Amino acid sequence: MDLYVHPLFEVVRNEKKCVACRACERQCSNCVHAYNPDTGEMEADDSKCVNCHRCVSLCPTKALKIILTDHCFRPNANWPGENINEVYKQANSGGVLLSSMGTPKPHPVYFDRILLNASQVTNPPIDPLREPMETRVFLGKKSQKLERNAEGQLVDNLTPQIPLTMPLLFSAMSFGSISYNAHASLARAAAALGICYNTGEGGLHADFYPYGPHTIVQVASGRFGVHGDYLMAGAAVEIKMGQGAKPGIGGHLPGHKIAGDVARTRMIPPGSDAISPAPHHDIYSIEDLRQLVYSLKAATGNQKPIIVKIAAVHNVAAIASGVARSGADIIAIDGFRGGTGAAPTRIRDHVGIPIELALASVDARLREEGIRDDVSVIAGGSIRSSADWIKAIALGADACYIATGALLALGCHLCRQCHTGLCNWGIATQRPDLVKRLNPEIGAERLVNLVHAWQHELKEVMGGMGINSVEALRGNRLMLRGVAMTQEELDILGIKHAGV
Amino acid sequence: MKKIYVREEWCLGCHLCEYYCANANLGGGNMAKALKGRPVHPRIRVEDDGKISFAVACRHCDEPLCRKGCIAGAISVADGVVCIDREKCVGCYTCILSCPYGAVLPAEDGHAVQKCELCIQTAGGSPACAEHCPNRAIVFEEGGASA
Amino acid sequence: MKHVIIGNSAAAIGCVEGIRRASRTDDIVLVAAEPHHTYSRPLISYLMAGKTDRTKIRYRPENFYRANGVQAKLGRRALGIDPAGKIVTLDGGETIAYDNVLVATGSDPLIFPAEGLDQVENVRTFTTLDDAEALLRSVTAETRVFVVGAGLIGLKCAEGLRAITEHITVCDLAPRVLSSILEDAPAAILRRHLEENGIVLKLGTSVSSFARAGAACTATLRTGETVPFDQLVYAAGVRPNTALVKDAGGDVNRGILVDTLCRTSLPDVYAAGDCTESPDACSGERKVMALLPNAYLQGETAGITMAGATAPTLPLLPMNAIGFFGLHLLCAGVYDGERTEHTDGQNYRSFYTRDNTLRGYILLGRVERAGIYTALIRGRTPLDALDFAALRDQPGLIAFAGPVRAEILRNQDNQRKREAAAP
């Protein structure tokens, strides 16, 4: 129990509607609900509620709702209740505050201050229902010039690419941080959609090798689950240098989650903590990174593109430039609003920079240096809708990573309790009875629906702009205008203010 | 013919099928109004030992022992659906004795039996249990090949 | 092909439906001594109690004969079968040629002679609709009824009559009720329940003599007790009607001997229902299993076979589902082997196991999902392959091992396969 901390939520049950079917009780891994046989009524312990909406969603009579408590402290603009409660919690525990998913703090979201263009009169819009609309992209280094052999025929000098039916990928979430069924859902959906999902640093479960052409396999600082077959299984290999939600720190999957298949897939003993160090212990410079990039290229017989994923931090443009020169085929940049299975709260909420600014400055820097075509750029870190996605592409991204959106499609209600391992939606848990709640048949269908819907919207918006391929949208800042921004922000984003 | 098939591996033991079934067979109206404060008598039942759970409802057998054994001639098969004529049923329970699945159950009043009739009379022919199962542990489909 | 069916109850109807499963065109002639549309004999006690009526008691819908292309000769008695000439002779001398004939003549009640019985005016048996209607006409709230026989028929009769009169006494030579299907402990519970519902039981004794004084009669029991009554009902057993087959030279024991396809020893002569003696799926012993479900199954098997098709395996078992005043009794199989029983005074359950199989069970009170037990007996399912201890307390498919359960849940046909696969 958190001394002094009043429960944040209240469970409100409409007694007129509740039929005491006990579905809420059976479905709550936090044991909020209980049936009282003496009264024949359901009771709730508000203090345990994490507001995950599992009970609310399943209640057949819609008798439940969860509300934010109106219990309050004496109003204090400088000391909001949240800060006070966090002090109490740390005074209770003496520990670092832990959080999950992306930051809930009201940081500026530049996507929301960017508006899109559309064609009027002077250039015609395109109707995507009548005209072909190309959303296919290939990620990887693009050749600078045509080469011909002695007979005058074209030489294929293209390095390996990741083909995608649209510029979207599911970003890294490890098996361990999320469940087997969540992975199965992502893998099936990626294959059905012709895109990729990403193993994260948890290895690739033996069952999912058939989805290899739609899998990005990750190599991170803990090297968990990495072996020859693993590297060869995927469409590309991603070196994870950092993560937007927790730049500069490593990861820690506690031993109690390392059981059975998770341990086997990570290739570590069951029950041992899986600690990913903050740095790769063999990388202290761009030159070191280059060694790992080329080691992985060698290990995969130069058949797999290499992605280097970095967190968006202050000097991201210079870092990206270095990464591009390290031989990486693709750079993934993860903005600080991105999600996580668990991170220290202070780091998640205060370290890093927004993806919009990082992406724009990286794109500009690589262009300036004439190396933009040496790499593809994937942007991630809270792409919440097709609008964010389209704006990111226009800011220079070759493709975007989504994860939180994908989890929402799987049922996640953003209660941000992933680190407890008690996910009532069967996503961020390894408890078999909870994992079972995510039927991958349904999960994959919902992911496919979501991404198809976004693809439709992408086509509609591109059509409106008079653009018929993603190639022509990428880095097309003329399609963007800013509102309510300073000149400096506009300059970094490389866009004009609306009205200009 | 489409039948109800249950898939144990996806059953969550939430028992919602029982409530949707009971409600559908009471007319399918407002569940809160129909079921508030009374025990339910669903035609689908979840077997649940805390670890394993799955629902059981009439299998609409090709060779229905319940129909063959019915002493009142109250059980008939219409378009593959095994149905009970509640008016004719005298509640002798010979069908309960005969059904290998335990899928025929005493009705609420005890004077007759009841069983799943695939919601042909109630939920517009789309069984309420399958319709509302949150995890597709109950499906209404041809053949039942998927598991 | 022309099929003649003698009888009009469950076995006969099963036979019609069996023939029609295999052939829409074969001719069917149905001959029955009773003039009524097919009705359910076990339902006559419910008719007494007002739980069914003349219309609902019909075993099949009114258009049954027409819909199934059956030429029904109701109210006609078959007098003889000539297996050589393949002819059935009816009362009045009419003859019908047949390709196959089914004998489904059921059984008739026995009336044991007793001193003074000839003086008793109001004597009835209780097996037919006419019996029930006669009793309904004669019995009033004041009528004192004396039922001889505390078996299935006698007790159901008593229960049905209880809806009309409070004065019912049942007597049986056996020391317990339902002596043929119950052991002492459950019989004691049932006896108490019957008595609580106003049935007076005189068990372990029999009538030594009847006497009449005016309209009222008196039965004197061997114990010396006397029971005054106005209406006597004889429900002391039945005798299979085997004459047609016996007279034609067929093999007959207590009942007509038939094999698993319901063939008698005579060519193209089949028999089904209460008039037969057939192998029990559980013990393999031949016995008269005079129960409606078995009669239907036998009739259906005979019909399918008569029409030249292959019938599914006959899962005949001694089994009973019966209830008295809201207390249900379900039992099946044979009561041999090791017994485990459990009772709380109100509900009772016992199970009989032998050679790793369930042989029989008796459930009184809580009877839900009993068919799962019946299937174990019928399929001779090895008990070590399931959690029988759990199953005894709570019938459920959950007691089966995972893969077996998956098969059961996936496909109904597997139930039959499972049974077929059993040794």
Q: How many helices (H) and strands (E) does chain C have?
A: 12, 26
Q: For residue C420, name the pLDDT band (cuts at 50, 70, 90).
A: very low
C46 and B144 in contact by Cβ < 8 A?
A: no
Flag whether A285 is in a domain.
yes
Flag whether A179 is in a domain.
yes
Q: For residue C415, name the pLDDT band (cuts at 50, 70, 90).
A: very low
Q: Give the residue from chain B lying closest to A39, CA to CA.
A: B37
A18 and B136 in contact by Cβ < 8 A?
A: no
Find which of C380, C410, C416 to mutate to test the B interface (most B CBs within 10 Å of its CB): C410
Q: Give the residue from chain A lying closest to B132, CA to CA.
A: A60
Are A362 and A338 contacting, i.e. CB atoms less than 8 angstroms apart?
no
Question: Which of C367, C374, C408 is closest, CB to CB, to B98?
Answer: C374
Note the pLDDT tens digit of each residue in C360-373: 999 999 999 999 99
Residue B10 touches chain A, beta carbons under 8 Å: yes
Q: What is the pLDDT of residue A82?
A: 94
Mean of the per-residue pLDDT values of chain C: 92
Dist. CA C163–CA C43, nearest whole Å: 15
Query: Are both A489 and A406 inside the same structural domain?
Result: yes
Average pLDDT over residues B57-61: 93
Q: For residue B145, name the pLDDT band (cuts at 50, 70, 90).
A: very low
Give the CATH number for residue A17. 3.30.70.20
Flag whether A126 is in a domain.
no
B14 and A18 in contact by Cβ < 8 A?
A: no
Dist. CA C40–CA B89, nearest whole Å: 12
Domains of chain B and CATH, by start = 1-57+121-147 (3.30.70), 61-115 (3.30.70.20)
Q: What is the pLDDT of residue B146?
A: 41
Flag whether A181 is in a domain.
yes
Query: Are both A230 and A379 inside the same structural domain?
Result: yes
Distance from CA of B35 to the nearest CA of C (A): 22
ipTM of this predicted structure: 0.94
B147 and C52 in contact by Cβ < 8 A?
A: no
Q: What is the pLDDT of residue C418?
A: 37
User: Which helix or strand (DSSP H or E) is residue A412 part of?
Assistant: none
Question: Which of B12, B13, B19 is closest, CB to CB, to A19?
Answer: B19
Read off the tokens for A42: 């359901």
Flag whether A122 is in a domain.
no
Q: How far is CA A409 from CA A170, A256, A385, A389, in A?
A: 12, 27, 12, 16
Query: Are both A312 and A443 inside the same structural domain?
Result: yes
C56 and B104 in contact by Cβ < 8 A?
A: no
Chain-centre distance for alpha carbon C14? 14
Question: B27 — alpha (psi -120 to 50), left (phi > 0) or beta?
Answer: left
Q: Give the residue from chain A lying closest to B36, CA to CA.
A: A19
B136 and A23 in contact by Cβ < 8 A?
A: no
| Tokens 């991958």, located at residue | A440
Q: What is the pLDDT of residue A248?
A: 94
Are C186 and C177 contacting, i.e. CB atoms less than 8 angstroms apart?
no
Average pLDDT over residues C197-206: 96
C43 and B111 in contact by Cβ < 8 A?
A: no
Average pLDDT over residues B115-124: 86
Query: Are both A174 and A60 inside the same structural domain?
Result: no
Q: What is the pLDDT of residue C419?
A: 42
| Domain ranges, residue A81 | 9-95
Flag whether A3 is in a domain.
no
Percent of chain C with pLDDT over 90: 85
> Which residues in chain B have Cβ-Cβ distances shorter than 8 Å to A22?
15
> Which residues in chain C have Cβ-Cβ distances shorter than 8 Å to B71?
10, 40, 42-43, 292-293
C398 and B100 in contact by Cβ < 8 A?
A: no
Question: Does the pLDDT value for residue C422 go beyond 70?
Answer: no
Q: How far is CA A98 from CA A89, A92, A173, in A?
A: 11, 14, 18
Write down which residue in A69, A95, A121 finishes a domain.
Answer: A95
| Tokens 């009548």, located at residue | A130
Are C232 and C123 contacting, i.e. CB atoms less than 8 angstroms apart?
yes
Question: Does the pLDDT value for residue C403 go beyond 90?
Answer: no
Find which of B48, B68, B109 to mutate to test the C interface (most C CBs within 10 Å of its CB): B68
Q: For residue C337, name the pLDDT band (cuts at 50, 70, 90).
A: very high
Residue B14 touches chain A, beta carbons under 8 Å: yes
Query: Are both A174 and A236 inside the same structural domain?
Result: yes
Q: Give the residue from chain C lying closest to B101, CA to CA.
A: C372
- CB contacts < 8 A, A to B, total 60
Write down which residue in A64, A95, A126 finishes a domain.
Answer: A95
Read off the tokens for C27: 């001719």
Flag whether A405 is in a domain.
yes
C397 and B102 in contact by Cβ < 8 A?
A: yes
Query: Are both A349 and A457 inside the same structural domain?
Result: yes
Instruction: For chain A, list residues with pLDDT below 70.
Output: 1
Distance from CA of C315 to the nearest CA of B (A): 9
Residue B49 touches chain A, beta carbons under 8 Å: no
Average pLDDT over residues C155-179: 96
Q: What is the pLDDT of residue C408?
A: 80
The answer for residues whose C-beta is within 8 angstroms of residue C357's C-beta and 6 or more apart is C376, C377, C380, C381, C382, C383
C415 and B61 in contact by Cβ < 8 A?
A: yes
Q: Give the residue from chain B lying closest to C411, CA to CA.
A: B144
Query: Are both A70 and A180 inside the same structural domain?
Result: no
Q: Is A1 exposed, middle or buried (0-12, 13-18, 19+ CB in 10 A)?
A: exposed
Query: Are both A165 and A229 inside the same structural domain?
Result: yes
Q: Cα Rg for chain B, rounded, in angstroms?
A: 15
Note the pLDDT tens digit of each residue in C2-55: 999 999 999 999 999 999 999 999 999 999 999 999 999 999 999 999 999 999
Give the CATH number for residue A282. 3.20.20.70
C415 and B100 in contact by Cβ < 8 A?
A: yes
A439 and B10 in contact by Cβ < 8 A?
A: yes
Distance from CA of C106 to the nearest CA of B (A): 15
Question: Does the pLDDT value for residue B10 go beyond 70?
Answer: yes
Dist. CA C55–CA B70, nearest whole Å: 17
> Which residues in chain A have Cβ-Cβ distances shorter than 8 Å to B13?
26
Note the pLDDT tens digit of each residue in B81-118: 999 999 999 999 999 999 999 999 999 887 889 999 99
3-state secondary structure of C80: strand
> Which residues in chain C have Cβ-Cβ distances shorter than 8 Å to B147?
406, 410
Query: Are both A250 and A163 inside the same structural domain?
Result: yes
Query: Are both A343 and A223 inside the same structural domain?
Result: yes
Q: At what angle do helices C129-138 and C152-162 cross, to 10 degrees?
A: 40
| One-letter amino acid for residue A302 of the chain | N
Dist. CA A306–CA A290, nearest whole Å: 11
Q: Give the residue from chain A lying closest to B22, CA to CA.
A: A21
For residue B139, give the nearest of B126, B121, B124 by alpha carbon.
Answer: B126
| Among A468-477, B137-146, C270-279, the least confident range | B137-146
Question: Does the pLDDT value for residue C279 go beyond 90?
Answer: no
B 16-45 → A contacts, CB under 8 A = 16, 18-20, 23, 30-32, 35-37, 40
Parallel, antiparallel, or unpaired: how do β-strands C100-103 and C2-6 relate?
A: parallel
Average pLDDT over residues C116-134: 93
Query: Are both A384 and A452 inside the same structural domain?
Result: yes
Q: What is the pLDDT of residue A22?
A: 97
> Which residues in chain C have Cβ-Cβ distances shorter than 8 Å to B102?
368-372, 395-397
How many other CB atoms sit within 10 Å of the CB of residue C165?
Answer: 17
Q: Is A234 exposed, middle or buried (0-12, 13-18, 19+ CB in 10 A)?
A: buried
Query: Are both A77 and A149 inside the same structural domain?
Result: no
For residue A299, give the nearest of A222, A230, A231 by alpha carbon.
Answer: A231
Number of domains forming the structure of chain A: 2
Q: What single-letter DSSP state applies at residue C54?
A: T
Q: Give the residue from chain B lying closest to A424, CA to CA.
A: B12
Write down which residue in A95, A121, A150 finishes a domain.
Answer: A95
Q: What is the pLDDT of residue C416?
A: 42
A21 and B37 in contact by Cβ < 8 A?
A: no
